Amino acid sequence: MKKTILLGLILGMGTVLQAQKGESKPDKHWYHSKPSKKNMGISLDAAYASPAAKLPSKTIIVAVIDGGVDINHPDLKDVIWHNPNEIPFNNIDDDRNGYVDDTVGWNFIGGKDGRMVEYDHLEKIRVYLRLREQFKNPTAEDTQRPGYAQYMSMKTEIEGTIEKQKTQYEGMEKFQKSLHSYATRLGKAAPSGKEIKELKVDASEEKLRDRIATVVSLMGYNQLDEAIIQGMHGMEASVKYQYNLDYKPRDIVGDNYDDPHEIGYGNNNVAGPDASHGTHVSGIIGAVRGNGIGLDGVADNVKIMAIRVVPDGDERDKDVANGIRYAVDNGAKIINMSFGKGFSWDKDVVNEAVVYARDHGVLLVHASGNSSQDNDVTSNYPNDSLGGGNFADNWIEVGASRQPKKKLATDFSNYGSHNVDVFAPGQSIYSTIPNNGYAYFDGTSMASPVCAGVCAFIWSRNPSMTAKDVKMVMEETVTRVDSKVILPGSKKTKVAFPTLSTTGGLINAEKALNMATILLVK
């Protein structure tokens, strides 16, 4: 059972911390099964058991554009792509593509000196800083120019958020310091809430002591302490980096950021400081099947190309565009992009890369986002809109589903009858994490690689298909669910599941493989 503790109510701050207590997880391959009322899987096991799966297959390279990949994980090391034209560690650009020693991929947010960007601003902060420079000494005429109203609105919202976050962080520090001091005074590593409640303190501290005692009674001392540590880590990243107007992470990269078409910057450390997310995504797509450890990835004949562009913060459009182009130029047929943001700095340069991928027959699979928002109303970037009413036909936008049919759409998933194409399992997804580990993650970030893995699976058996063919097959063969589900982000509002995406359904590997095979025969 998940217990949510609203420390905002207890501390007088806006912070929410969650603790997991006795929560059970489903079978690690639950979504490989056929869809049923209690377990809405994607018929992957049935697909592998079908005659069509016995066809000869061709290796599909899948680029994982993400925050980093642990290429040495035992469930991944045998499926990592290796650049056949690059001699490892000789400090020479053997294939003359502009990237020195790019043996397994590239890190676009690293420096030539080996340093790496771990944290970065949110995109809206970068947009705000650009507007702030533009209107730093506004004249009466400036106030009538495009962008000024947006600048003033962002100024109020962002500066207010910065002050609020600083107050929250300081309050959390005080809360943690008092928690630890009570344990020290009691001489216990993990005192109970009752013991803390009985401590003698100054009258001015009694309310804080009682709040701490209440939460310890609900959660337990150690669980509360761990929740505070995690909460402070997230808040620290936000306060010190994401919302810090003086932070300049691009100095680490050392590129000319004003040149969106520059290449060659970065380094070859594809893991980065934290490869958890990208490693998890990679395992979903292609963890070695049938090796008796960990999990079976969705696709059985893939190579994972690791491309790092995502920091703790928002990715930059220049890096995303270069990541797409790098993947295309090095033979990727599918690019998985489990990231997104609410603002775009340079959509044109990303659009150019999307068209480049389209023109080279490469399929882009993208996570719809985790804000419980309607992407038809509020934009999520990057997306398949190329401007002028044109959309990329090599793009699949993926929402996240969960096990039970009556609650099929996850609470967090973005949706959209025009801007989300399909849904795929994205809650309680088991996969690889760094240091030989495994874990369950939630997110459209997990749904996207499930979809990308199925795309690779059917494409490997039918290599003459085009990216447009694969997209069509995936969308035409969904398991359509006509019943009502709870609208993401609401508690009670129900909507017909087909209204949440263009197809109205959940991807189905068995149907997709069979349709692809029929098309090939024809």
pLDDT of the chain, 522 residues: tens digit per residue: 333 444 453 444 444 454 444 457 899 999 999 999 999 999 999 999 999 999 999 999 999 999 999 999 999 999 999 999 999 999 999 999 999 999 999 999 999 999 999 999 999 999 999 999 999 999 999 899 989 999 999 999 999 999 999 999 998 999 999 999 999 999 999 999 999 999 999 999 999 999 999 999 999 999 999 999 988 888 889 999 999 999 999 999 999 999 999 999 999 999 999 999 999 999 999 999 999 999 999 999 999 999 999 999 999 999 999 999 999 999 999 999 999 999 999 999 999 999 999 999 999 999 999 999 999 999 999 999 999 999 999 999 999 999 999 999 999 999 999 999 999 999 999 999 999 999 999 999 999 999 999 999 999 999 999 999 999 999 999 999 999 999 999 988 999 999 999 999 999 999 999 999 987 654
Cα–Cα distance measured from residue 68 to residue 436, given in angstroms and rounded to the nearest whole number: 15
Per-residue model confidence (pLDDT) at position 521:
53
| β-pairing verdict for 105-107 and 302-308 | parallel
Closest CA to 426 of 284, 282, 234, 276: 284
Per-residue model confidence (pLDDT) at position 13:
41
Q: What angle is formed at CA 410 by the lines to CA 405 and CA 416, rounded to 5 degrees?
A: 100
Q: Which residue has the tokens 């340069």?
A: 349
Cα–Cα distance measured from residue 144 to residue 141, given in angstroms and rounded to the nearest whole number: 6
| β-pairing verdict for 422-425 and 437-441 | unpaired
Per-residue model confidence (pLDDT) at position 435:
96
Quick one: three-class SS letters along 38-61? CCECCCHHHHHHCHHHHCCCCCEE
365 — phi, psi (to 5°)?
-120, 125
CA dihedral 1, 6, 123, 391 (to 10 degrees): 40
Closest CA to 471 of 422, 438, 415: 422
Closest CA to 181 of 201, 165, 204, 164: 201
Q: Which residues of 166-179 are buried (b: 16+ CB within 10 A; e: fewer)?
A: eebbebbeebbebb
Per-residue model confidence (pLDDT) at position 16:
44
Q: Provide the 3-class DSSP secondary structure of residue 492.
A: coil
Q: Which pLDDT tens digit goes with each residue over 449-488?
A: 999 999 999 999 999 999 999 999 999 999 999 999 999 9
C-alpha 56, offset from chain centre:
33
Q: What is the end-to-end Cα distance of the chain in Å, rounded?
A: 51
HSE-CB for 247 with a 13 A CA cutoff: 18
Closest CA to 287 of 272, 269, 270, 302: 302
Q: What angle is formed at CA 397 by the lines to CA 475 and CA 494, rounded to 5 degrees?
A: 85
Report, in angstroms and rounded to the nearest whole number, the Rg of the chain calculated over CA atoms. 24
Q: What angle is formed at CA 332 by the lines to CA 330 and CA 338, rounded to 5 degrees?
A: 120
Closest CA to 71 of 396, 398, 412, 303: 303
Cβ-based neighbours of 391, under 8 Å, separated by 6 or more: 384, 385
Whether 122 contacts 314, CB under 8 Å: yes
Q: Provide the 3-class DSSP secondary structure of residue 245.
A: coil
| β-pairing verdict for 395-401 and 422-425 | parallel
Cβ-based neighbours of 413, under 8 Å, separated by 6 or more: 368, 369, 370, 372, 399, 400, 401, 423, 426, 444, 447, 488
Any idea what DSSP says for residue 4?
A: E
| Peptide bond connecting 26 to the previous residue in cis, omega within 30 degrees of 0 | no
Beta bridge partners of 337: 65, 366
Per-residue model confidence (pLDDT) at position 130:
95
Domain ranges of the chain: 41-115+259-521, 124-242
Q: Distances from the Cα of 370 to the Cαs of 27, 406, 412, 446, in angstroms?
A: 23, 20, 5, 11
Please give the CATH superfamily to which domain 41-115+259-521 belongs. Peptidase S8/S53 domain (3.40.50.200)
246-255: Cβ within 8 A, 24+ apart: 247/119, 247/121, 249/117, 249/119, 249/120, 249/121, 249/311, 250/117, 252/109, 252/110, 252/111, 252/115, 252/116, 252/117, 253/108, 253/109, 253/110, 253/111, 253/117, 254/111, 254/112, 255/318
Q: Which pLDDT tens digit goes with each residue over 243-255?
A: 999 999 999 999 9
Whether 368 contacts 422, CB under 8 Å: no
293 — phi, psi (to 5°)?
-125, 155
